[in-house]
Structure 1
């Protein structure tokens, strides 16, 4: 990679806000587990809010690229070949569709895992279910994705890189803290908790073949660079900074919701 590559520019642009939001969220994970609390209501609350980001991002993604069943059988090498021509403004729709198909890695998708985890958590305690039915601040981000980002789908590149990287590169630290809460806290057996495949209600944090997926994801991001014009690349970088502002506001709003949840 060179200094002109999008991935390099993205990393430079988000270095500070990324470190800040990671510290912010990590400090709150400690408040969601023993000895601070003895039921996963705060974890469920936060997960339900952040879930809206994944729901929105993944539904817009599929809306742009079409049903993956229609094209996913094409080899990754073939999709990379589509990215080797210089970007042209005259075929922007087709070009951006090719770009977002290139980045599509099924193992990264989180919607089903989130739905399963939230269903499991809701079954644990009626009080948890009640919070799923309240006004969800994360829905504002989902709406933004469905309206603003869908109208400029190349901006999804910023969301895809930042949101999935959070799991691939920082999620293991959060997952380790959550697992330390113990099997009883998560309504699991010791065998389930120690399974190589993290079960509900923590399956969100498990990605099959994470090391391989991480390497593949990074490689595809580098290849995707070719399908963006310089102005689009700058818009992706600008969007990345907006993302962290939205994430910070969402996390801080959880502080207020948490006070009410514990009453």
Structure 2
């Protein structure tokens, strides 16, 4: 006779949550590369700001590199959100393909709702970059159709290929990239916001003569249409709407992310944690690529008031 707990008529017991959350495991596994990346960014940020820089050219290059990663992940998550729509033709096509295994329903639901309203950055990134480069939306799209460096191209290709094969790894990108906005991103924003308005509204990076003519035409038209308009400082990427300054969005994101603890298998959790390490490794390589492209010095001496010079040393691995 079967015992009650082994009876085939009894429902399966609910999954027990893992001993530690996925977010905590990601943080623990990436602590060392996280520290390295923070050192890289904090030591180089002064290069892009007054008094060392007189224009946001260097910041624009750095933002463009990392913008490609945010744009890629949000495009992939948007595709999954479309798949989750009932009777969506794309879903029917995907299910009919013998070579593709779509995410199981619980995982698809988690990923398609992972970014709460107010968190996606694509629109804000494009607005900032259009202003920084002095390009129209059409010209910016053409500009972003090319990668600014080989490492960024490899990073985006790796992200796309890995997410298509194992969609659950998008959880790693979401946690690492968006939580960064609420931690180190707050500090970076404060440093950027300390630069005077004149710095942000200076001439954009050099480009083709055709782009310069288009910018001049657009600027002239803007001056006609918006005589009293005050240009916004291009820090939309780091800012959030509402009085909570994004803390409400952060809380909603973390609450939704916590559902992963009940959805992922142990093998999938290992994939996510392993991919988080890859994100930091790629991000460090992106900074190194920027160093090469922008000829970052080993150190720089900044004259200070009182006749005392400040020496800034840029960290290396």
State the TM-score, normalized to the length of structure 1.
0.79
1:253 aligns with 2:286: no
Cα deviations by residue, 1:173-200 (Å, 9 ceiling, x for unpaired): 0001001111100119xx969xxxxx44
In structure 2, the partner of 1:9 is: 25
Larger RCO: 1 or 2 (CA < 8 Å, sep 6+): 1
In structure 1, the partner of 2:8 is: none
| Higher share in helix | 1
Partner Cα separation in structure 2 for residue 213 and residue 106 of structure 1: 7
**Offset at 1:3?**
3.8
In structure 2, the partner of 1:64 is: 80
The Cα RMSD (Å) is 2.8
1:45 aligns with 2:61: yes
1:108 aligns with 2:129: no
Q: Retained in 1: the 8 A contact 2:76–2:160?
A: yes
From 236, 243, 261, give the equivalent of 1:203. 236
Partner Cα separation in structure 2 for residue 186 and residue 135 of structure 1: 21
Partner Cα separation in structure 2 for residue 2 and residue 16 of structure 1: 24
**Offset at 1:203?**
0.6
In structure 2, the partner of 1:216 is: 252
In structure 2, the partner of 1:165 is: 179
**Offset at 1:2?**
6.8
Q: Retained in 1: the 8 A contact 2:149–2:289?
A: no
The number of aligned residues is 230
Q: Retained in 2: the 8 A contact 1:55–1:142?
A: no
**Offset at 1:122?**
0.8
Partner Cα separation in structure 2 for residue 221 and residue 48 of structure 1: 27
SS at match of 2:29: helix
In structure 1, the partner of 2:214 is: none
SS at match of 1:66: helix
Larger radius of gyration: 2
Gap regions ≥5 residues in structure 2:
1-16, 87-100, 203-228, 297-317
